Amino acid sequence: MSSEGADSEIVRGIVEESVPQWSLCAPTWAAAVFDRSGVIAFSSAAREGFSAPGRGDVFRIASMSKSFLVACLLLLVERGELDLDDPVSRYVPAFATPIGEVVTVKMIISNCSGLPEDNAWSDHNLDIPRREFVALLQRGLHYTEPPGQTYQYSNIAFTVASLILEVITSERYESFLKRELLNPLGLDDTRYRAQDYGDRDTLAKGFTTFDQGASWVEREMADSGATAPIGALFSTVDDIARWSGWLSEPFEKSGFGGGQNGEPRVSVLSSFSRARMQRIHTAVASIGPRWTSPRNDAIGYGLGLMVERDARFGTIAQHSGGLPGYAANMRWHLDSGIGVVAYATADGQPVATRAADLLDTVLHRLDLPARRIKLWSQTFQAARRVDAMLHASGDFTKVADQLTANVFYDIPADVRRRQFRDAVRRVGGLTASPAPLASRMLWCASAAHLVWRLPGQDGDLQVQIELSDIDRRPVQRIIVEPLGAELAGLPEGRDLVVRHHRPLLG
């Protein structure tokens, strides 16, 4: 889907209806739904006495900035200047570790360094001078967990990551970021300081309330000091949409890094590195308010991004941002690239939850698959052979040249034939002229797996095959069962994400 596609009207309707109704204790808020081509729909709202934000308004993205820092570090990895498995102390000698332990660069950007959470402290120390931060390191850090084992969100760790970049490049992070990432990607409205914007730009002001919105206190915009790389950036919904689309691009089925209609896109950072950011490296235990959504089967920290495993739609990458006066969230569905960016001009607001609900609504209305998986050609050809055999006779020995030896050991051929005939009898016989197999494919767990519909007169069956790559007779499993058998025994309303993995040919 693109912003020019037929689904744009559906998305616009959802956004324009839902966003103004969000229950937020904030002067203003805004949200946009985007895909890899850009923003599809935008809406905003304001309390009495405030003006609703415009689409081009600039807001502080806070910790959403961390994905930009990690992308810069991965550029150094690709250039051979940094190894994520290196000890941090190799680059920052003042960084002390527990006796007998090693903290690696990867640990600090995947939030498992062992350092405690420090959001409250860091929110008020974006402007700390470098010499003071280095002095803090020299005094020694205190660890609450062994390095590499447990998720804890550490802004100090990410600040150290920015120092590593500056040691390697002999350059301030902000100038490296602008030259190597922002400029090539055309993120012209994403900047490091409020002063970097001109009179024509509208910067969203941040507020705090101490009386549930009866009155508001405007927050000053903290300047950018040593810890600024963890959360100082400003941006717009359009720039975040572009950034998110670029990050999700490796998961696009048109090819790793390839653009629409064969047009190449700016690569800057390889598909491998971008995909690496969006895989779980550190599991997040559900012991606190970090994980509040029942839709997630798993959640963890990647590299500069949170990664969620949605029970219906598969993998979602996201990150929140919060500072005094600001709350923001960006999130996107990896397979489709459809996502949401949202912000409010007050701290402590459940913007991430509202953005998650909005994305969930859009994905459901568009009925998008969790993943699209390109089948091996051998998988589809084997399925055609098996499908033809089932319609002709149900004699599994007719496709023995396709079956590994274990197939008839697991269930003998005569038993398979008898079970199949019983199943066919229960659905009143098979349809005489079924539709082509390609139109009857249901789902797959991998390129070597396929489930398809076998239509009957009074009901349908499904066939499941799985291939192995170690035998010239590749089919190692065949199962014929009632349609939707994999859902038997699940609580009502539950679903399996794998059922929404859509098989593709070619």
- Average pLDDT over every residue of 152-159: 95
Is 126 a residue whose pLDDT tops 90? no
| Rounded Cα–Cα distance for residues 157 and 162 (Å) | 9
* Cross-strand bridge partners of residue 208: 217
pLDDT confidence of residue 76:
97
Stretch among 17-31, 156-170, 209-223, 230-244 having the lowest mean pLDDT: 209-223
Q: What is the DSSP string of 64-76?
A: GGHHHHHHHHHHH
How deeply is 352 buried, as exposed, middle or buried, from its count of CB atoms within 10 A (0-12, 13-18, 19+)? buried
CA–CA distance from 258 to each of 154, 265, 316 (Å)? 35, 6, 21
**H/E element holding 161?**
helix 155-169
3-state DSSP call for residue 120?
helix
Please provide residue 342's backbone torsions phi and psi, each rounded to the nearest 5 degrees.
Answer: -145, 150
Q: How confident is the model at residue 220 (pLDDT cuts 50, 70, 90)?
A: confident
Please provide residue 393's backbone torsions phi and psi, each rounded to the nearest 5 degrees.
Answer: -150, -25
Length of the chain: 506
Work out whether strand 28-35 and strand 234-235 pair parallel, antiparallel, or are unpaired: unpaired
Stretch among 120-129, 288-297, 308-317, 464-473 having the lowest mean pLDDT: 288-297
CATH number of 373-504: 3.10.450
* Cross-strand bridge partners of residue 481: 462
pLDDT confidence of residue 7:
86
Please provide residue 503's backbone torsions phi and psi, each rounded to the nearest 5 degrees.
Answer: -75, 140
Q: Which of 64, 8, 11 is nearest to 331 (CA)?
A: 64
Chain segment 274-318, per-residue pLDDT in tens: 999 999 999 998 655 554 555 677 899 999 999 999 989 999 999
Name residues whose C-beta falls within 8 Å of residue 411's C-beta, 6 or more positions apart in sequence: 419
Radius of gyration of the chain (CA): 26
Residue 94 Ramachandran class (φ > 0 left, ψ -120 to 50 alpha, else beta): alpha
3-state DSSP call for residue 85?
coil
pLDDT confidence of residue 297:
75
pLDDT confidence of residue 5:
45
pLDDT confidence of residue 221:
80
Chain segment 405-452, per-residue pLDDT in tens: 999 999 999 999 999 999 999 999 999 889 999 999 999 999 999 999
Is 341 a residue whose pLDDT tops 70? yes
Is 33 a residue whose pLDDT tops 80? yes
Instruction: State pTM to two decimals.
Output: 0.91
Question: Per the structure block, which two tokens stand in for 187?
Answer: 């993120």
Name residues whose C-beta falls within 8 Å of residue 67's C-beta, 6 or more positions apart in sequence: 243, 247, 277, 304, 305, 319
pLDDT confidence of residue 286:
65
Domain residue ranges in the chain? 373-504
Work out whether strand 306-310 and strand 296-301 pair parallel, antiparallel, or are unpaired: antiparallel
Locate the DSSP E strands across 302-387.
306-310, 314-323, 326-333, 339-344, 371-374
Is 6 a residue whose pLDDT tops 80? no
Tell me the percentage of the chain whose pLDDT exceeds 70.
94
CB-based contact 348:207 (threshold 8 Å): no
Out of 88-102, 150-164, 222-236, 282-296, give the one with best mean pLDDT.
Answer: 150-164
**Mean of the per-residue pLDDT values for the chain?**
91
The runs of H, that is alpha helices, within 198-303 are: 237-248, 271-277
pLDDT confidence of residue 173:
95
